[in-house]
């Protein structure tokens, strides 16, 4: 069993050491044209990307949102030297419109979203995210939430558990795992990460065919369910695009295929490709009357950007990262789509 990290209070160097942001160079380059304005880092975590952006320009202002108070406290401490150019906000990024309204803003120049769990959360045994440390089966990123992973594991029906583990973990052995969980909890409630990991390992038996730990998918599924990570993601993407100033940029990093699928499809929808009228690219002023698709953005990444081998070697957590980005089209009909593409292509 790995030893959990010691508590680090609000030491900014600890934040730097324990969470390595992924694809930092790519994020800064994609957002470079926005560095004279305001960028919202919707998942500021311990502030790695935010610090890189603040360092890249003396003008940029970063609004850093996170619903994890512990992470935000570290980001606040780390980014104190940037004064009021960094604005920490403890909230769910799905409340973007209200958060901006509170700041007196209707649009911003850049939006960054780096989804998933941070090393801070994973490595803190007491947060209960990891099967590598003994801890309470919690997994709440926002501790104001009331439902923990233990609540789900101990109360859902066998069928609902199997569906959850299959849907959010894409776990082929979901049924077997759910059956084992229900059998184990009939003896006594499942309270800790290690208890659950052992149940999963026993249920999956010797069928470990990949390098990943047998409990990885089950833990991912529970984490997604506890934090309702996928629900509202589409609506959030719509709202984020609406809040971008013309020429503003949206950069999205995801870590599993479920998130990436939602992002890919929604971005495609906002490029104006609509399924009802078959691949028509529509102007924003004339959206599809059925589904509302219109060209609101131009993609800056035809395919997702992946971390280099060197980055993955240095930071294994980066291995499943996928980055997609787009630039907001001006609403004016005077500006042609070709002009938007040309502007987006220029550095
Ligand atoms: C991968 S980490 C981000 C790390 C950050 N980019 C850095 O450089 O330190 C993801 C963060 O997003 C936060 N998060 C996830 N979903 C959120 C949501 N809906 N609202 C606010 N924060 C969220 C998590 O609490 C976590 O701190």
5-55 confidence digits (pLDDT tens): 445 455 556 666 667 899 999 999 999 999 999 999 999 999 999 999 999
pLDDT given at position 17: 61
Specify the ligand 1 atom closest to the Cα of 255. 1
Is 88 a pocket residue for ligand 1 (Cβ < 6 Å)? no
pLDDT given at position 286: 86
pTM: 0.90
Q: Which CATH class is domain 12-116+230-345?
A: alpha beta
Domain 127-225 has CATH 1.10.150.170: yes
- E strand or H helix at 69, and its extent? helix 69-78
Is 46 a pocket residue for ligand 1 (Cβ < 6 Å)? yes
pLDDT tens digit sequence for 113-153:
999 899 889 888 999 999 999 999 999 999 999 999 999 99
**Could you tell me if 299 and 271 are in contact, meaning their C-beta atoms sit under 8 angstroms apart?**
yes
Rounded Cα gap, residues 41 and 47, in angstroms: 9
Q: Tell how far the Cα of 302 is from the centroid of ligand 1, in angstroms.
A: 25
Q: At what angle do helices 257-270 and 233-242 cross, to 10 degrees?
A: 40
For the cut 80, the answer to whether the pLDDT of residue 210 exceeds it is no
**Cα end-to-end span (Å), the chain:** 48
pLDDT given at position 347: 45
pLDDT tens digit sequence for 230-285:
999 999 999 999 999 999 999 999 999 999 999 999 999 999 988 787 767 788 88
Ligand 1, from 41, 47, 66: best to mutate by most atoms within 8 Å of Cβ? 66
**Could you tell me if 165 and 157 are in contact, meaning their C-beta atoms sit under 8 angstroms apart?**
no
Q: Tell how far the Cα of 201 is from the centroid of ligand 1, in angstroms.
A: 29
Half-sphere exposure for 21 (CA within 13 Å, toward CB): 26
User: Residue 342's pLDDT band (boundaries 50, 70, 90)?
Assistant: low
Across residues 188-195, what is the average pLDDT? Answer: 97
Q: Strand order in 297-299's β-sheet?
A: 86-90, 61-66, 38-41, 108-114, 244-254, 322-328, 297-299
Indicate the domain borders of the chain: 12-116+230-345, 127-225
For the cut 60, the answer to whether the pLDDT of residue 345 exceeds it is no
Q: Tell how far the Cα of 72 is from the centroid of ligand 1, in angstroms.
A: 9
pLDDT given at position 123: 87
**Could you tell me if 66 and 43 are in contact, meaning their C-beta atoms sit under 8 angstroms apart?**
yes
Mean pLDDT (the chain) is: 90
Rounded Cα gap, residues 207 and 210, in angstroms: 9
Is 249 a pocket residue for ligand 1 (Cβ < 6 Å)? no
pLDDT given at position 203: 95
- Quickly count: other Cβ atoms within 10 Å of residue 62's Cβ: 24
Across residues 337-343, what is the average pLDDT? Answer: 59
pLDDT given at position 343: 59
pLDDT given at position 333: 46
């Amino acid at each position: 069993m790995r030893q959990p990290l010691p508590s680090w209070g609000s030491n900014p160097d600890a934040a730097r050491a324990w969470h390595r942001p992924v694809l930092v160079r790519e994020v800064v380059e994609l957002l470079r044209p926005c560095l004279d304005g305001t960028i919202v880092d919707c998942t500021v975590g311990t502030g790695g990307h935010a610090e890189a952006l603040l360092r890249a320009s003396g003008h940029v202002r970063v609004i850093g949102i996170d619903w994890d108070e512990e992470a935000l406290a570290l980001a606040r401490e780390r980014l104190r030297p940037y004064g009021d150019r960094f604005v920490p906000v403890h909230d769910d990024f799905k409340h973007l419109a209200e958060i901006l309204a509170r700041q007196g803003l209707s649009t911003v120049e850049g939006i960054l979203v780096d989804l998933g769990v941070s090393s801070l959360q994973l490595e803190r045994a007491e947060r209960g995210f990891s099967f590598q440390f003994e801890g309470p089966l919690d997994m709440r990123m926002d501790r104001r939430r009331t439902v923990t992973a233990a609540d789900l594991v101990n109360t859902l029906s066998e069928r609902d558990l199997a569906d959850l583990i299959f849907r959010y973990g894409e776990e082929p052995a979901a049924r077997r795992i759910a059956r084992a969980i229900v059998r184990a909890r009939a003896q006594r409630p499942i309270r800790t990460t290690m208890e659950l990991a052992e149940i999963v390992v026993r249920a999956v038996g010797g069928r470990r065919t990949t390098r990943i730990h047998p409990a990885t998918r089950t833990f991912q599924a529970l984490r997604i369910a506890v934090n309702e990570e996928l629900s509202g993601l589409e609506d959030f993407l719509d709202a984020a695009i609406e809040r971008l100033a013309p020429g503003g940029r949206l950069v999205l990093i995801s870590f599993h295929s479920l998130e990436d699928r939602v992002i890919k499809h929604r971005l495609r929808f906002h490029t104006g490709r609509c399924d009802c009228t078959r691949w028509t690219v529509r102007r924003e002023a004339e959206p599809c009357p059925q589904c509302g698709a219109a060209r609101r953005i131009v993609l800056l990444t035809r395919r997702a950007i992946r971390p280099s081998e060197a980055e993955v070697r240095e930071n294994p957590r980066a291995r499943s990262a996928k980055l997609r980005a787009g630039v907001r089209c001006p609403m004016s009909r005077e500006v042609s789509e070709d002009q938007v593409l040309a502007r987006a292509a220029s550095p």
